[in-house]
Amino acid sequence: MGTGVLALALNQIDGPSSIWHAVAFALWGLALALFCTSGLLYALRWAMFFDEAKQIYRHAVAPMFLGAIPMALATVINGFLAFITPHLPVAIGLIALPLWWMDALMAAACAWALPHWMFTRLEHRLDSMTAVWLLPMVAAEVAAVSGGQILHQMAPGPLATTVLYVSYSLWSLSVFPAMGVLVILFLRMVLHKLPPPEMAISSWLALGPIGTGALGLIVLGREADRMFTGTHQATLGAIASQAGVFGALLLWGYGLYWLITAALITLRELKRKLPFNLGWWGLTFPLGVYALSTLALARATDTYFFQVLGQIFVMTLAVLWSIVAWRTTVGIYRGGLFVAPCLGKAG
């Protein structure tokens, strides 16, 4: 997710002819390789160690990360649309669209099934809550953004309209529950203070649904306006476009609150020797989608402020990704980085 979103963000710096385009393509290739390798290894875990693999559903936190699977697939799809389909348009219908439907189904399943599992099987307390609770539901709005990106390369018609309506449904399926979780997260931090140091980076996850939600409103509104122009729904398309920009502005401002809050929490814990773990990747994807939403606002409003700030966010993301990627590589080499909390031991 973090590598894929960095590729997408860098690809929007200075146009497709810049050196950043080549770097972005290489990073997307890396993200694709990581996704395929990780997916294969996880499938093998279920095939070869079924009893151990199913223990994930008895852990209070580990199942939440299943939502990262469709989110990671969405970044792969978006990269495919950015780097491959412009040169091979036929791949939209043959590859991108089928993958998107699969991603949408997985995202919707996570949005319903994992919270239901929390309601009925898992034990939770308010004082142990973190922003990880957002992961099952955010996948749906990430899929919604991918739907908008696919629409950008599709001709208007019944199929495109269906993708648009499904994408809006995925957006609402995700954003509104996520806003409720953020309210509870605020209450949790007021009553029980900050999460433990090993979970401090999870504070950045709050930025994810806000940035993705803003980006989705802009992307889907733009495509609704394009598809409905000249039809009896032209007014609806215009409203969706204008309301999308206005709604994105409101969400962007709300995201700025959580961005500064997460940064303050991280700086506070860094002074106390914040331990490194794989949760540090939580720095990347939320900041990445917030950067993308900032750049989208810059294009939608033709505002220099958002353009400059968006590029600052992208460069910050690149620096953070480099730090986390390097420390992950060192951790893998030394061993002991990967932990299966549902088994209660390092893997």
Quickly list DSSP for 310-328: HHHHHHHHHHHHHHHHHHH
Contact indicator for 1, 72 with CB cutoff of 8 Å: yes
CA–CA separation, 299 and 306 (whole Å):
9
Q: What's the farthest any 2 CA atoms get from each other in the chain?
A: 63
- In the numeric block, the tokens 């034990």 are attached to 123
Backbone dihedral angles phi then psi of residue 339, each to the nearest 5 degrees: -135, 135
Contact indicator for 110, 38 with CB cutoff of 8 Å: no
CA–CA separation, 136 and 113 (whole Å):
9
In this structure, what token pair is assigned to residue 173?
Answer: 């399926």
**CA angle (277, 211, 134) in 5-degree steps:** 55
Q: How many domains does the chain have?
A: 1
What's residue 263's pLDDT? 95
| Sign of the CA dihedral running 34, 347, 278, 276 | negative
CA–CA separation, 232 and 347 (whole Å):
58
Tens digits of residue pLDDT in 197-250: 888 899 999 999 999 999 999 999 999 999 999 999 999 999 999 999 999 999
The domain spanning residue 103 has which CATH number?
Answer: 1.50.10.150
CA–CA separation, 11 and 103 (whole Å):
23
Residue 233 burial by Cβ neighbours in a 10 Å radius (0-12, 13-18, 19+): middle
Question: Beta strands of the chain (E only): which ranges?
Answer: 339-340, 345-346
CA–CA separation, 263 and 269 (whole Å):
10
CA–CA separation, 151 and 173 (whole Å):
19
Full DSSP string of 299-310: HHHT-HHHHHHH
One-letter-per-residue 3-state SS of 332-343: HHHCCCCEECCC
pTM for this predicted structure:
0.94
CA–CA separation, 45 and 288 (whole Å):
30
What's residue 347's pLDDT? 38
| Sign of the CA dihedral running 161, 68, 136, 134 | negative
Q: What residue type is assigned to position 294 of the chain?
A: T
DSSP, res 345: E
DSSP, res 92: I
What's residue 35's pLDDT? 96
Q: What residue ranges of the chain have pLDDT lower than 70?
A: 14-17, 344-347
CA–CA separation, 223 and 147 (whole Å):
10
In this structure, what token pair is assigned to residue 306?
Answer: 């958002």
What's residue 344's pLDDT? 62
What's residue 17's pLDDT? 54
Which residue, 147, 292, 117, is CA-closest to 208? 292
Domain hosting 112: range is 2-346
Element (H, E) at 4: helix 2-10
